[in-house]
Structure 1
Amino acid sequence: MKSLKTLALGCCLAVAATACSTSGGGSTTAASGDQVLTLAAAGQGPASAAVKAFEKANPGVTVKTVFTEDDTAYQQQLRTQLASGTAPDVFRMWPGGGNTMAVRDLGKDGMLMDLSGESWAAGLSADLKSVTSDPGGKVMAVPVTIGAIGAVWNDQALAKSGLSKPATWPEVLKFCKDAKAKGVTAFALGLKSSWVTQLVPYALTASLVYGPNPAFTQQQKDGKATFAGSQWKQALEQYLQMRDEGCFNDSPNGVGYDEQMQLFGQGKALGVVHVLSAVQSAIEYAPEGTTFSMTPFPATDNAGDTYLPVSVGIVYGVNAKAKNPELAKKFMQFLASPEGQALYATESGSSPALDSPSFKADALQQPVLDAVKSGRSTLYPDQAWPNPRVQQEHLTSIQELFNGTVDVKTVLSRMDKAFTSTS
């Protein structure tokens, strides 16, 4: 049996919008320099809740925050600030490797504080350490949430349609056909927001590639496997089959994340294949009383062969040049505490990465815990990819694939080239 502490995320998965906001943590009294912490995050809601709770537990402390609601903009801004020495004390990152704001990449460049000596770091499992450490094995981040990618359902819209949640790949295609006949979209898709492009492939390859062969990425690194020569080909072909069978809304490349969540929240689409935290956005558009649930997204003819992609979602680290390092480490301690873990997980629609007895799983989170407990979970593939170029190539190529300007063979060839690139 796997425990939650044997999981390692994704991918750069956060609520994408377009605006930036700057705000204090809520304190109205002046604070001395040693009581001021600066923090940045992509995605405001959960971080704001954590900041308020931290300030309440530490009277006199003020947390000055900057929130950017777009992953790409956030990564670019923080990278620039870290290089110029103007970055905040604490910031949200991505676990493992795979993008420019991931732990290994920042750690390799000397931009993070070594947190190995903190009490919570001593309790991390080997797998959690693998996605929160630099290439030298030093812990550089605290894991905060566990996320998953599955079929997320608008319960009321699904009940109104009279359709049942599919448990096999043939059932997925029939579900799409039946939904279309009823004048409703089966799955909302917003590929205009490039980070969304990866979600269906990650869901499919969990069952087709990484579940059956957990060593696949290492085999790629050893030169014994390739994307093009694997079931990644079947996964992308099935993605196109869903498009051609009418599983998605019209013109996915012209639909952004916000519109995707609007279609889903309002029940114009019965579901989405998405990160569970997306529900927090769908709720904004949903009628009062709307509820949501999740099931693993199938890729084969046998429901027993289905794996769920589950990985550490959000991590936080400390600037190597933090102006208030002691207060920053105190905030890390709060995030690692059972209270901090439960708060952040609840606010973000995720599960806690560390032990948190007070956390109560709901219809979205219980299937995640069940998949982990039964050994039917895999990691997000990008966390183990050797460089950010693989993910970047994947995101861009999927958009072109849906436009019909490239084929599956070309997409996988590009990804293989990026995987082996050293420049």
Structure 2
Amino acid sequence: MKTHRSALAVAALAGATALVLSGCSTAVGGGAEDANVLTFASGSEETTQKLIDGFEAANPGVSVKAEFIESDASYIQQLRTRLSGGTAPDVFKVWAGGGGTMATWKVATDGLVAELDDQPWAADVPDNVRYVSSLDDKLYALPSNLGAIGALYNDQALAAVGASIPQTWTQVLDLCKTAAANGKVAYALGNKDAWTTQLIPYALTATLVYGPNPGFSEEQADGSATFSDSKWSDALDKTKQMMDAGCFNPGPNGTSYDAQMTLLGQGDALGAVQVSQAISAAEQYAADGATFSMAPLPATDEVGAQYYPTGVGVSFAINAKAKNPELAQKFLAYVASPAGQKLWAEVSGSMPALPSDERELSPVLEAVETARSAGLTTQYYPDQVWPSTAVQDGLLVDMQRFYNGEITGATVLENMDEAYKAS
């Protein structure tokens, strides 16, 4: 594996695991003069505030002055501006890998975040997770949780049409027929929020590309592999087959993520291909007693050989010019602790990134953990080791055009190859 500085040429910003909804922010100032006040910035207020509450409860007398910027684009723009101006908070969210302006490798290269190898939890960071959290073998971010992408199912909606979770590709297409015959959608799509367009290709390439060949990204980096000449082409062919089979709701490009989760939660859709954390969103719209399951989206007809894409979800870094560096270290130590890992996993609907004897995973995530133990998960989300955000940005735009029938899968991949080479 290449050193992380050279890996800047083969790394990119994570999109799946940085999957957040647009919203508002509550602005705060930069540093805090009070030694007992930590300034903090992230997204997803609903879940992150619970982590903050846990930290404050474990540290009486300490408070966190937090801001939550739910839109990724706004977050990135604001944090980069404030880091340049010296007004950024003590601790803030970053993405795993590199290539994006708020990705770990980029902020570390720019000298904006503190080294963390001297922290007591640093030795507990697993090697593959450390890879996308460090640069030149120096740790710069705490990978706080792990997520997975798969097919989420409404258990009651499946039972109502006499269906079960598909274990093979053929069964996926059969489920689409069953759903249509019962006036249901098999897999809800919410492509109006462009980040959702990458999820089905990511889910399929886990089994077709990255699971069987963990070295594929390295082969791309040395020029011996491309998107077009790989089974990425099979993944887009199968996505087109799902479109032709009527697997999705009408007008997916005009359907929002929120509407996608409403369809799943209310049982109008049997399933949706999403990140594991999205189950909490579906539950908001579900009837009392509704339950949900998660499974890999099958890409072949080989039972028991389907992979989940998994990767670092949220990472936290310390401002290199933090006003309260000691308190910032204390916050990361809490998040990395068994109690912090357990709490954060529970409230974020994810898996702990660090070992934790105290963790109690939901049945959904237990299934992912079982798959990981069996070697049926990938190490990273694909984009976490792409050379720049241009590859993923182009994919999101082109996938909307693909779902509209404007371009072919071959064109999507040709454009990705061009963006990769130009990065």
The TM-score range, normalised by the shorter chain, is: over 0.9
Contact 2:18 2:313 in 1 (8 A): no
Aligned match of 2:23 in 19, 22, 27?
Answer: 19
Contact 1:227 1:413 in 2 (8 A): yes
Q: Which runs of 5+ in 1 are unaligned?
A: 1-8, 25-30
Equivalent position of 2:49 in the other structure = 48
For 2:289, the aligned partner's letter is G
Shift in Å at residue 32 of structure 1? 6.5
Q: 1:227 to 1:32 in 2, by over 3 A?
A: closer
Range that drifts further, 99-108 or 184-193: 99-108
Q: 1:98 to 1:259 in 2, by over 3 A?
A: farther
Shift in Å at residue 304 of structure 1? 3.0
**Aligned pairs, number:** 407
CA distance in 2, matches of 1:21, 1:155: 35
Equivalent position of 1:113 in the other structure = 114
Contact 1:98 1:391 in 2 (8 A): no
CA distance in 2, matches of 1:363, 1:126: 26
Equivalent position of 1:213 in the other structure = 213
Q: Does structure 1 residue 410 correspond to structure 2 residue 414?
A: no
- What whole-Å deviation, never above 9, does each CA across 1:144-180 have from its counterpart, x for those lacking one? 1111111111112112221111111111011001101
Q: Does structure 1 residue 203 correspond to structure 2 residue 203?
A: yes
Equivalent position of 1:326 in the other structure = 326
Shift in Å at residue 234 of structure 1? 0.9
CA distance in 2, matches of 1:283, 1:69: 20
Write the mapping of 1:286-301 to structure 2, written as runs, cut at 5 A: 286-301=286-301
CA distance in 1, matches of 2:242, 2:79: 37
Shift in Å at residue 354 of structure 1? 1.0
Contact 2:17 2:312 in 1 (8 A): no
Shift in Å at residue 98 of structure 1? 4.5
Equivalent position of 2:129 in the other structure = 128
Equivalent position of 2:65 in the other structure = 64
Equivalent position of 2:166 in the other structure = 166
SS of 1:261's partner is: helix
Equivalent position of 1:396 in the other structure = 397
Contact 1:13 1:195 in 2 (8 A): no
For 1:387, the aligned partner's letter is S
Write the mapping of 1:276-295 to structure 2, written as runs, cut at 5 A: 276-295=276-295
Shift in Å at residue 339 of structure 1? 0.4
CA distance in 2, matches of 1:117, 1:148: 30
Range that drifts further, 300-309 or 166-175: 300-309
For 1:408, the aligned partner's letter is G
CA distance in 2, matches of 1:230, 1:17: 32
Shift in Å at residue 70 of structure 1? 2.2
For 1:42, the aligned partner's letter is G
Shift in Å at residue 97 of structure 1? 2.3
Shift in Å at residue 399 of structure 1? 0.8
Q: Does structure 1 residue 184 correspond to structure 2 residue 187?
A: no
RMSD: 1.7
- What whole-Å deviation, never above 9, does each CA across 1:240-269 have from its counterpart, x for those lacking one? 211121111111110111111111111111
Contact 2:296 2:307 in 1 (8 A): yes
Shift in Å at residue 368 of structure 1? 1.0
Shift in Å at residue 125 of structure 1? 2.9
TM-score (norm 2): 0.93
TM-score (norm 1): 0.93
Contact 1:12 1:94 in 2 (8 A): no
Range that drifts further, 94-103 or 230-239: 94-103
Equivalent position of 1:226 in the other structure = 226
Equivalent position of 2:5 in the other structure = none
Shift in Å at residue 73 of structure 1? 2.4
Contact 1:23 1:64 in 2 (8 A): no
SS of 2:234's partner is: helix
Q: 1:47 to 1:380 in 2, by over 3 A?
A: same
Q: 1:76 to 1:241 in 2, by over 3 A?
A: farther
Q: Does structure 1 residue 36 correspond to structure 2 residue 69?
A: no
Write the mapping of 1:301-340 to structure 2, written as runs, cut at 5 A: 301-340=301-340
Contact 2:155 2:291 in 1 (8 A): yes
CA distance in 2, matches of 1:12, 1:112: 23
Q: Does structure 1 residue 245 correspond to structure 2 residue 278?
A: no
Identity among equivalent pairs (%): 49
Range that drifts further, 352-361 or 324-333: 352-361
- What whole-Å deviation, never above 9, does each CA across 1:27-63 have from its counterpart, x for those lacking one? xxxx961111111112112210110111111122111
CA distance in 1, matches of 2:252, 2:207: 24
Q: 1:146 to 1:274 in 2, by over 3 A?
A: same
SS of 1:148's partner is: strand
Shift in Å at residue 280 of structure 1? 1.4
Shift in Å at residue 278 of structure 1? 0.6
SS of 2:316's partner is: strand
CA distance in 2, matches of 1:80, 1:23: 13
Contact 1:144 1:316 in 2 (8 A): yes
CA distance in 1, matches of 2:126, 2:148: 20
Contact 2:167 2:304 in 1 (8 A): no
CA distance in 1, matches of 2:171, 2:234: 17
Q: 1:10 to 1:292 in 2, by over 3 A?
A: farther
Q: Does structure 1 residue 374 correspond to structure 2 residue 378?
A: no
CA distance in 1, matches of 2:233, 2:19: 28
For 1:73, the aligned partner's letter is S
Range that drifts further, 78-87 or 46-55: 78-87
CA distance in 2, matches of 1:230, 1:383: 18
Contact 2:22 2:72 in 1 (8 A): no
Contact 2:125 2:353 in 1 (8 A): no
Range that drifts further, 102-111 or 68-77: 68-77
Range that drifts further, 400-409 or 166-175: 400-409
For 1:202, the aligned partner's letter is Y
Equivalent position of 1:6 in the other structure = none
Contact 2:19 2:195 in 1 (8 A): no
